[in-house]
A = this chain, B = another copy of it.
Amino acid sequence: MSDFPPGAIVSVLGGTGPQGRGLARRFAAAGIPVVIGSRSADRASDVATALAEEVGGTVSGADNATAAGQGDVVVVAVPWDGHADLLRDLNGQLAGKVVVDCVNPLGFDKQGAYALPVEEGSAAMQARAILSESTVVGAFHHVSAVLLEDPTVVEIDTDVLVLGDDREATDLVQALASSIPGVRGVYGGRLRNCHQVEALTANLISVNRRYRAHAGIRVTDL
Task: Show the binding face of A for B, using Cβ within 8 Å.
Answer: 111-115, 157-158, 161, 163, 186-190, 192-193, 195-197, 199-200, 202-207, 210-211, 213-222
Q: How far is the CA of A176 from the CA of B203 in the complex (A)?
A: 20
The reply to whether B207 and A111 contact each other, CB–CB distance below 8 Å, is: no
- Shortest C-beta distance, A127 to chain B (Å), equals 18
Quick one: which of B186, B199, B220 contacts A218, CB cutoff 8 A? Answer: B220
Quick one: which of B196, B206, B218 contacts A202, CB cutoff 8 A? Answer: B196
The reply to whether A216 and B213 contact each other, CB–CB distance below 8 Å, is: no
* Between-chain CB contacts (< 8 Å), 13 pairs: A111-B192, A157-B220, A157-B221, A163-B203, A186-B207, A189-B202, A189-B206, A196-B199, A196-B203, A197-B200, A214-B221, A215-B222, A216-B219
The reply to whether B206 and A216 contact each other, CB–CB distance below 8 Å, is: no
Can you list the 8 inter-chain pairs with the closest CB atoms, starting with the nearest? A189-B206, A196-B199, A196-B196, A216-B220, A218-B218, A189-B203, A213-B221, A157-B220
- Shortest C-beta distance, A27 to chain B (Å), equals 21
